[in-house]
Chains A and B, each alone.
Chain A
Amino acid sequence: MQGKCGLFFESYREENALLVGGFQKARFAALLAVLCACPFVLNSYHLSILILINIAVVGAVSLNLLTGMCGQISLGHGAFIGVGAYACGALTLQGVPFLVALPAAGCITAATGMLFGIPSLRLKGIYLAIATLAAQLILQYIFLHWDAVTGGSTGLAVDPPNIAGLTFDTDEKMFYLSLGVAILMLVVATNLMRSRHGRAFVAIRDFYLSAEIVGVNLFAYKLMAFAVSSFMAGVAGGLWGHYLQFVTPEPFGLGLSISYLAMCIIGGLGSIQGAVFGAVFLTLLPEVLTWLSDVGSSVFPAASLYLVAAKEGVFGLVLVLFLIFEPEGLQRRWRLFKAWCKLFPFAY
């Protein structure tokens, strides 16, 4: 545990706390208070962006567990999120209450993820990436053609989430629900990384042979990484489907998988905090571009015409530039910023 100056632990309990020290606790409390106040201040458009950010945080953290922590590249995460959305939607349509359907959707997605994670025992690196790419395309095909469950290309119309009589049908209510789920998942992920299982993941990522030598069961832990990650992806998907109240195959394409990987990389691979930064950054990026084109269209009327194409191009450009110039992502910038704050008037 890296102790800050002036921070002395008097018990193991203190040392093992999730938030160390008063300032950190105060900071997180302030952040939480600001987030909880959002629905009273923002309009419903901005709130909907925040909800999407919350959902993206869950997805990005789940992928970062798999790819960042355990080193298993997955190009199929978008499809796993889709599995969650379809599973949750289909279950609630059968009359299963949302509070049961969401974890159940997570479990179904976990099973799917484990199924496609089995090759990870034999495959590494590029071969695993290609295997998960195949998973992505096969699952997409299933979404489109298993009409009985997924409704084919017309999709599923889903009711807003309903927990114990309380219907989350407005953006305000949905915001609190998604925020709650996101925080829960963040806490779970953070604690998982502090446990022996999390350390086993990191050991596998760093070097699989030494991990095996110190007694990490590679297959079990790789499967576990796939399971935990897919479970969270399924929860994110379930939330997403119920928020949009409509589940169709289009959003869960390869593009979604890639943008989640991009969130992990832009935020910082292997860092929970980084995944949050990446999710916020990449969800806001298209909104900022839309805003820019609104501003730009008063000068160049044709600007909005190129917006769709430009969004993808800017996404690619941001990704390439981050990989070349800031491979450790935004969380490194944040760390540098914190160090700068600590040292402020002096440079050492």
Chain B
Amino acid sequence: MEYYLQLVINGLVVGSIYALVALGFVVIYKATKVVNFAQGELVMVGAYACFSLTVEMQLPFLLSFLLTLGFSVVLGLAIERLVLRPMIGEPIISVIMVTIGLSSILKSLVQVFWGTQIQVYPQVLPQEPYFIMGVPVAPVYIAAFVLSALLFAVFSAFFKYSRLGVAMRATALDQCAAASMGIGIKSIFALSWCIAAVVSSVGGVILGNINGINSQLGHLGLKVFPAVILGGLDSLLGAALGGIVIGVLENVCDGAAKQFLGLGGFKEVAAFIVLVIILMVKPYGFFGTKQIERV
């Protein structure tokens, strides 16, 4: 029983990071209808930037974290301006492929600058575990969960109450109407890439504090797809729930497969089997807009 409780707690932490990455994905998809296959690489670049600032430049962690956020804003702006803007109006496969190309570029840049071996963050939080229902939980896990919950709250409020957030929602709903009401569509697109880069790099920094980072971190981006499909491609709430559910589900399935079937590495596919089932039964997810044309 404790085994499964541990799995669930691990799943919650990993899931909260999936949720963050999914948040970035959903923000981009909502505003620009671009499916971003480079989301995982944004996580990786953020994690490496923060690593570089804290370890190689010896800056205090909090300062380098803030600098990383600033770096992510610039990165998001650059990507939108250089790569995505020329693709407006192109067929969906071209847009998918351009983000895939982007992910290759980012990955190779990271490998050129930082190599492929695992890098470990310095200890920021204390080591002594807290006990939740008798299960030891490291403080960094709790911090990860709290931080993602906080970011979700901030962004939900942003979309609901701020002028810019309303403008983004308007753009998501109907680009032409939004443009004719005086909303700068291009700046909205740029903003959504900034937000995506920022939340992803927060996820990357958290992950770096938990497991260390290496150049394979971008694979995490693939897990975003089951999460957002489960929640609905264009729903923030869906991203949060989907991320958490997929995180817990894959951990528990992995544990169960190991215990009962002796299968290793089931974590890698559990989420995708769920994904196929969701796509067959409820393609628009639980909170997504039901606008998919059925053939």
Q: Which of A67, A123, A317 contacts B279 (CB 8 A)?
A: A123
By the criterion CB–CB under 8 Å, are A122 and B280 in contact? yes
- Chain A, residues 123-135, CB within 8 Å of chain B (1/0): the string is 1111101110111
Q: Which of A265, A308, A324 has the most CB of B within 10 A?
A: A324
By the criterion CB–CB under 8 Å, are B269 and A137 in contact? yes
Taking CB atoms and an 8 Å cut-off, the chain B residues in 89-108 that contact chain A are 90, 92-94, 96-98, 100-108
> Which residues of chain B are near A208, meaning CB under 8 Å?
295
Query: Is B283 in contact with chain A by the CB < 8 A criterion?
Result: yes
Nearest-neighbor residue (CB-CB) of A312 within chain B: B108
Q: Which of B94, B101, B225, B264 contacts A133 (CB 8 A)?
A: B225
Q: Which of B103, B275, B295 contacts A122 (CB 8 A)?
A: B295
* Given A141-B268, A313-B109, also A320-B93 (CB < 8 A): no
A269 to B283, CA, bound (A): 27
By the criterion CB–CB under 8 Å, are B87 and A324 in contact? yes
By the criterion CB–CB under 8 Å, are B101 and A320 in contact? yes
Q: Which of A125, A137, A311, A312 contacts B92 (CB 8 A)?
A: A125
By the criterion CB–CB under 8 Å, are A308 and B276 in contact? no
Query: Is A151 in contact with chain B by the CB < 8 A criterion?
Result: no
> Which residues of chain A are near B295, meaning CB under 8 Å?
121-122, 124, 208, 212, 218-219
Query: Is A323 in contact with chain B by the CB < 8 A criterion?
Result: yes
- Chain B, residues 242-281, CB within 8 Å of chain A (1/0): the string is 0000000000000000000001111011001101100110
* Given A137-B269, A313-B105, also A73-B93 (CB < 8 A): yes
By the criterion CB–CB under 8 Å, are A317 and B101 in contact? yes
By the criterion CB–CB under 8 Å, are B100 and A319 in contact? yes
By the criterion CB–CB under 8 Å, are A323 and B104 in contact? no
Query: Is A103 in contact with chain B by the CB < 8 A criterion?
Result: no
> Which residues of chain B are near A320, meaning CB under 8 Å?
83, 98, 101-102, 105
By the criterion CB–CB under 8 Å, are B101 and A127 in contact? no
A218 to B225, CA, bound (A): 26
> Which residues of chain A are near B87, meaning CB under 8 Å?
323-324
Q: Which of A123, A145, A316 contacts B265 (CB 8 A)?
A: A145
A135 to B272, CA, bound (A): 8
By the criterion CB–CB under 8 Å, are B268 and A316 in contact? no
Q: A122-B279, A138-B276, A327-B94 are in contact. List 13 more A-B contacts (CB 8 A).
A: A124-B293, A130-B229, A134-B272, A137-B222, A141-B269, A218-B295, A258-B100, A262-B97, A313-B112, A316-B102, A316-B108, A319-B97, A323-B98
**B residues whose Cβ falls under 8 Å from a Cβ of A:** 35, 83, 86-87, 90, 92-94, 96-98, 100-109, 111-112, 222, 225-226, 229, 233, 263-266, 268-269, 272-273, 275-276, 279-280, 283, 292-295
**CB<8 Å pairs between A and B, sample of 25:** A123-B283, A126-B35, A126-B92, A127-B283, A133-B272, A134-B276, A138-B276, A145-B265, A212-B295, A261-B100, A265-B94, A308-B111, A309-B109, A309-B112, A312-B104, A312-B107, A314-B108, A315-B104, A316-B104, A316-B107, A317-B105, A320-B102, A323-B87, A323-B101, A327-B94
